[in-house]
Each structure stands twice: as structure tokens, then as C-alpha cells.
């Protein structure tokens, strides 16, 4: 399960860095692509704006198959206050740009599963794949527009993961 979560996150991170190298976040003195995974970061009073934040919600397994399939629900949230140049009046356009970026980094809807507990990461036998994203309506909280997207992520459990 952890290998699938890591592979999904790092695939999206690499795709975002390639698609929009300017979408970054400065965290603990390091400039990184603007996508974070909640469980791997220190708690935030308020998540940073203009960054995609991944949170793992649910987990299910289908053991009836020849190899157990794991299904996980990933929630991706993001918000924006717009740009300073427009006094935040472009926050709707900024949210739409983030919507489009998310759709683009989610395609194709598969990636190789790698074991990131070793260096260099070791390729595994199976793939990680996911469904179409489900977007919620945008919400407003003070100067921020926010959206949450849910994606079901699947992976077969391999012998080495049991």
C-alpha cells in the first residue's frame, strides 16, 4: 500500500514540475514542486495557497482476486488568493488554472509502482492506476477560493509487500 501511495504522489509531483516549474513551495528552507502529501509534512495552521495538498482517506481491499487489489481514496485540496498584481481579483482565474493543471497531471491515469524505501527506487511488478477525478464546487473562505477533488487509486499487492 505504501509503495502505491508513494508512486502516485511522486508521479504527480514529477508531472507538475514538468508542466509548471513555477508552481513551487518553500518548505523548511527547500524549494519544491507545489504538491505536498499531508501525512509526510508537519501540521499546518493553514495549508499554503497555490499548492496541491494530498490526503489519504479510505482504504479497501478485494482479496477475492488472484492477487489482492487495494483501493485507496485520495483527496486533493488546493486554494488560491489570486495574484498580488491584481489585488486577488483574479482568484477565480487562478483556481481555474489549478483545476486544469490537476487534470493534466492526472493523465495518463497510471504510473509504474516503485519501492521508494531503497535507493535508487526499485521497480515493482505492477502498476498504480486511478479513476477520473471528482471535483467539488469551489468554496470561499475570506480571500481564498478552494476546491477539493477525490480520486480512487488502485494497486495490486505484491508478494514483497505482504
Q: Averaged over 12-29, what is the pLDDT?
A: 96
Query: Residue 70 maps to which CATH number?
Result: 3.30.2000.30
Q: Averaged over 53-77, what is the pLDDT?
A: 88
Q: Give me the pLDDT at residue 60, please.
A: 87
Q: Averaged over 92-114, what is the pLDDT?
A: 97
Q: In this model, does residue 34 exceed pLDDT 90?
A: yes
Confidence of residue 62 (pLDDT cuts 50, 70, 90): confident
Residues paired with residue 109 on neighbouring β-strands, in sequence order: none
What is the DSSP secondary structure assignment for residue 28, as one 8-state letter? T
Going by C-alpha positions, the residue among 56, 61, 73 that lies closest to residue 134 is 73
Tell me the pTM.
0.93
First to last CA, the chain: 9
Are the beta carbons of 81 and 49 closer than 8 angstroms?
yes
Confidence of residue 68 (pLDDT cuts 50, 70, 90): confident
- Largest alpha-carbon pair distance within the chain? 57
Average pLDDT, the chain: 93
Going by C-alpha positions, the residue among 162, 16, 5 that lies closest to residue 73 is 5
Pairwise CA distance, residues 16 & 105, whole Å:
6
Pairwise CA distance, residues 29 & 54, whole Å:
21
Are the beta carbons of 95 and 138 closer than 8 angstroms?
yes
Number of domains in the chain: 1
The percent of residues in the chain predicted with pLDDT above 70, rounded, is 96
Domain of residue 8 covers: 2-161
Amino acid at each position: 500500500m505504501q509503495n502505491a501511495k508513494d508512486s502516485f504522489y511522486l508521479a504527480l509531483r514529477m508531472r507538475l514540475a514538468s508542466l509548471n516549474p513555477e508552481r513551487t513551495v518553500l518548505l523548511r528552507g527547500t524549494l519544491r514542486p507545489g504538491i505536498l502529501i499531508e501525512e509526510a509534512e508537519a501540521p499546518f495552521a493553514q495549508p499554503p495557497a497555490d499548492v496541491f495538498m494530498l490526503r489519504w482517506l479510505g482504504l479497501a481491499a478485494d482479496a477475492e482476486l488472484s492477487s489482492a487489489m487495494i483501493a485507496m481514496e485520495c483527496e486533493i485540496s488546493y486554494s488560491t488568493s489570486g495574484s498580488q498584481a491584481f489585488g486577488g481579483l483574479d482568484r477565480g482565474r487562478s483556481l481555474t488554472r489549478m483545476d486544469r493543471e490537476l487534470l493534466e497531471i492526472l493523465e495518463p491515469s497510471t504510473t509504474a509502482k516503485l519501492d521508494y524505501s531503497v535507493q535508487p527506487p526499485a521497480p515493482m511488478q505492477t502498476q498504480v492506476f486511478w479513476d477520473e477525478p471528482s471535483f467539488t464546487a469551489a468554496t470561499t473562505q475570506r480571500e481564498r477560493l478552494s476546491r477539493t477533488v477525490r480520486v480512487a487509486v488502485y494497486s495490486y499487492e505484491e508478494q514483497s509487500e505482504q
